[in-house]
Amino acid sequence: MAGVSASTAAKAQQTVKQLFGYIEAQGQGDYLGEAVSQVQHSLQCATLAQQAGADNDTIIGALLHDVGRFIPAAEKEASMVAPDGTYVGKASHEVLGERYLRHLGFSEKVCQLVGAHVMAKRYLTAVDAGYYDGLSKSSKMTLKFQGGIFDEQQVKEAQKDPLLQEKLQVRRWDDLAKDPNMVTPSLSDFEQITIESLQRSWC
């Protein structure tokens, strides 16, 4: 990337290497009862964004939307447990992920897309009558712990957001990224665009 110093390039590479290391180390586990692993889910989400012709920051937001589940700080977050004892994920992982990526220096767009995928689910269940029915059993369960369906005032407030459509699209890819037969690029295939995005946000 032109105009980037050697030290900045090296720092960005190391930052992304560590970030992707967290995903590789912890992302092979079960994805809340779905038919794919957590890392497969993340890669599928990014691949769907790529196939749709999304810009690189949106692809990165899709790839990293669950990063709040992987980073070391996630271990300190409270777990969400359904009344029957079923584990349904970490509380506020989207907030944790957004905060972490902003700390690393990623662009505002990447950070907001990561932080909004739960908000987008709550919005879509309010405005799209068929959306809730299409959610997986696991996703319906977590919705209850994430604040539930938006009311009319929350919908109106969300519609003021200039990034709303991108946030909703990441959510829809998130919902689709649960296909055990889908073939995707590897995590390393997304490394260069992530490094370049981080470098741009630092300049």
Locate the domains of the chain by residue range: 6-202
pLDDT of residue 90: 52
Average confidence (pLDDT) over 104-130 = 95
Nearest Cα to Cα of residue 166 among 57, 3, 84:
57
Average confidence (pLDDT) over 114-139 = 90
Mark 48-67 as b/e (b = at least 16 C-beta within 10 Å): bbbeeebebbbbbbbbbbbb
Calpha distance 187→196 (Å, rounded): 15
**Is residue 30 predicted with pLDDT exceeding 80?**
no
Average confidence (pLDDT) over 172-180 = 91
pLDDT of residue 104: 95
Average confidence (pLDDT) over 51-76 = 87
Nearest Cα to Cα of residue 55 among 94, 18, 107, 9:
107
pLDDT of residue 173: 95
- Look up residue 164 and give its two tokens: 């709303």
**Is residue 196 predicted with pLDDT exceeding 90?**
yes
pLDDT of residue 88: 46
- Look up residue 87 and give its two tokens: 């584990």
pLDDT of residue 85: 56
**Is residue 82 predicted with pLDDT exceeding 50?**
no
pLDDT band at 84 (very low <50, low <70, confident <90, very high): low
**Is residue 159 predicted with pLDDT exceeding 60?**
yes
pTM, entire model: 0.86
Q: What is the mean pLDDT of the chain?
A: 87
**What is the CATH class of 6-202?**
mainly alpha
Average confidence (pLDDT) over 7-26 = 91
